[in-house]
Every structure is written in C-alpha cells, then in structure tokens.
Amino acid sequence: MRLVLTITARNLRLFFRDRAGVVFSLMGALIVFLLYALFLSDLQVRSIAASFPDADASDVRAFVDTWMFAGIIAMTSITTSLGALAVFVEDVASGRFRDFMVSPIRRWQLVLGYLLATVVVALVMTTVVLGASIAYLFLIDGVTIGVFPLALTMFWIVLSCVAFAALWAFVVSFLRSTAAFSALATVVGTIIGFLAGAFIAIGLFPAGVRDIVNALPFAQSAMLMRQQFTEESLRALVGDQPEAIAPLSEFYGITAVVGGAVVPVPLVVALLLAYALAFTALAAWRIRSRLE
C-alpha cells in the first residue's frame, strides 16, 4: 500500500504543479459563475419575481444564487475528475508506461495510484469550490447552509467524485495523445453545463431532451446538491404557496423527472454507486491491458 500512496502522491504533485491545468479544470464552473454574475442572474430573478410578485426580493435572489452554486459544485466534481487524468494521458503519450513496465511496480498498484489521485484531486477542488460558494452566499445573500445539509452535501460530493473519476478513467483509457485529451476536456467543459442543468433551467428544454438530461448522472448529481442548497431558500420563496414547490423543483432540476416519474434519491445514489463500481472495474481492466 505504501507504493500505491507514493504513486498517488507523485500524480498529485504533477497535477497541482501545472497551474494552467488546474485553472482549466475549473473553467466550466467559472464560466457558469461569470454568466450568472454578468447576465443570467438578473433574468432569472425578474422571471421568478414576475411569477411570485409577493415574494421578497432578497428571497428571490437567495433562491437563484443557491440554485446556481449547487450546479457549479456539481459541475466541479465532474470536470476536475476529468482534468486530473491529464497526468495519466501524459504518461501514456510520453512513453513513461514503458518505464513502469520494467520497474518493480505491480500493475494493480499503478492503476490504483492513478484512480486514487483522480478522486483526491476532484475532492480537494470541489471542496474548495464548496467553501467559496458558502462564503459568497453568506456574505452577499446572508444565506447559511445548516450542518446537516452541509454534511449531506459533502457525502454527495464524495459519491459524485468517485463515480465521475471512474467514468472518466474508463473514457480516457482509450486516448493516446494529449491533443485528444485536450479536445475531450474542451467538449466536456462546454456541454456539461447543459447536461447538469447549470447554464439554463432543465424545465426550458423540450420534453424529450428534458427526460434524456434527467436520466444522465450529471443532472442527477446536480439534483442531489440542489436539494440541500435550495431547501430553505425555496421554502422562503414560495411562502404561503407550498403547492408551488413541486413544479418549481421540477423546472429547476431540484427533482429529476423521467417519463413523468420522479427519480427518487435512493435510486440516484444506487446508480452513482453502480457507475463507480462498474467503471472502476472497466477502467482498471483497460489500463492494465495498456501496460501489457
């Protein structure tokens, strides 16, 4: 196990040493934040204020911001787990794999070192973004996230980071060049905001697209974060109209609805666990086959 930790530490050093790579792994989340800070936030606030004319302006703003930051946190767990695998692709492209094959390192130790480093990078980066989001909500909106919702959010972050690290490790195992990896990271960073329902509310998609997006793990992971972040702000927004909670939750991706049926939280947890186990096994098999 000591050798696995040594390989993990080596991969972590290589990732965090590349400051440009660290920043680009957060590019999707930064784009969402800038879009909302500069353009989209006021549009959302005006739209909701028109639907709830009796709602206090601060409650409307608090709901929009908690919803936005929950999406950003979910996006960070997705994009940073992909960005961390740049070390693996660089090792493949540079031929360092051949050096590993003549070293006393066993293949399973090498595979585990890559996967552990990927999960650690995603956890560290997403936790930093979580802290920044909580600070922004408190300082700008006066919103605080309770201890239990925060603890549950951390659990969802761990689950999402493990699941997406496994998924991307399997996908990246097919790549052979840093150019191909950069292209993949660019595509994912561009479209993940839509797939997670972070750029625009999922309710604005056509019905068929909405079902597809809600069936994917990206929107489901964002759903878990949003349920904790918007619990209080949504209740304050609707005030004496609790019947509005369900349609608003569906429209903003706080609940996922596929084919008219609500996807329950236990099913989302089971699916993310299944992704984590299945893609970890597949990624390990693929990386081991690359070493032979």
Q: What is the pLDDT of residue 119?
A: 94
The pLDDT tens digits of the residues spanning 102-122 come to: 777 777 788 888 899 999 999
Beta-carbon count within 10 A of 211 CB: 16
Q: pTM for this one?
A: 0.90
> pLDDT grade, residue 291 (50/70/90)?
low
Spatial distance between the Cα atoms of 144 and 135, rounded to a whole number of angstroms: 9
More confident residue, 21 or 178: 178
In order of 46, 50, 61, 160, 263, the CA distances from 250 in angstroms are: 19, 18, 19, 21, 11
Q: What is the pLDDT of residue 220?
A: 94
The mean pLDDT of 149-159, rounded to a whole number, is: 95
Spatial distance between the Cα atoms of 49 and 290, rounded to a whole number of angstroms: 56
Q: Which residues contact 288 (CB under 8 A, 6 or more apart)?
A: 107, 108, 111
Q: What is the pLDDT of residue 215?
A: 94
Radius of gyration from C-alpha coordinates of the chain: 20
Q: What is the pLDDT of residue 126?
A: 93
Which tokens in the block code for residue 36? 């909302």
The pLDDT tens digits of the residues spanning 176-186 come to: 888 999 899 88
Which tokens in the block code for residue 249? 């939750």
> pLDDT grade, residue 292 (50/70/90)?
low
Among 79, 63, 64, 67, CA closest to 31: 79
Spatial distance between the Cα atoms of 287 and 166, rounded to a whole number of angstroms: 12
Spatial distance between the Cα atoms of 231 and 19, rounded to a whole number of angstroms: 36
Q: What b-and-e string marks burial along 230-262, b requiring 16 or more CB atoms within 10 Å of the CB?
A: bebbbeebbeeeeeeeeebbbbbbbbbbbeeee
More confident residue, 289 or 142: 142
H or E element: which one contains 263? strand 261-263
Q: Find where tokens 């956890």 sit.
A: 123
Spatial distance between the Cα atoms of 144 and 15, rounded to a whole number of angstroms: 33
The mean pLDDT of 71-94, rounded to a whole number, is: 89
In order of 95, 166, 192, the CA distances from 178 in angstroms are: 12, 19, 20
Q: Judge whether 52 and 214 are in contact, CB under 8 Å.
A: no
